[in-house]
Amino acid sequence: MAGVGKLLKQAQKMQRQIESLQARQETREMEFTHGGGAVKIKINGAGRFLAITLDPEFLKEDPKFVNETLLAAIQEAARQVKEQNDEEMKKAASAFQMPGLM
């Protein structure tokens, strides 16, 4: 049964590392631009949008174009944050080898 105790300790350590990673993601801020700088989005590592800034000249464009560009910018920022988070989680989890789980 010593193997079970070792696995339990490994799982607890991995859980602490993931919780620490999630806390860091909350404080990490990233900024993305889209549409040649017409849209700037600030988002934290947990995927919470913090600010959206629109160039006043951009708002003079066709409303349909503005909507499409804004939606694309939001989707791209969310995708990039998710991709970064997935990669960080993968790194954190890869340090632990649990038979039957990996």
102 lies in a domain?
no
Query: How many folded domains does the chain comprise?
Result: 1
Give the model's pLDDT for residue 100: 56
DSSP E strands in the chain: the ranges are 29-34, 39-44, 49-54
Q: Is residue 6 part of a domain?
A: no
Average pLDDT estimate for 17-39: 87
Predicted confidence at residue 16, as pLDDT, reads 83
Give pLDDT tens digits for 2-25.
677 777 887 787 788 788 887 888
What CATH number should be reported for the domain holding residue 29?
Answer: 3.30.1310.10
Q: Say what the pLDDT of residue 98 is.
A: 56
Rg of the chain over all Cα atoms, to the nearest angstrom: 20
On the question of pLDDT at 52 being above 90, the answer is yes
Q: Which two tokens stand for residue 21?
A: 């990673």
What confidence score (pLDDT) does residue 70 get?
95
In this prediction, residue 99 carries a pLDDT of 56
Q: Is residue 85 one of the residues assigned to a domain?
A: yes
Q: Kindly state whether residue 3 falls inside one of the protein's structural domains.
A: no
Asked if residue 55 is part of any domain, the answer here is yes
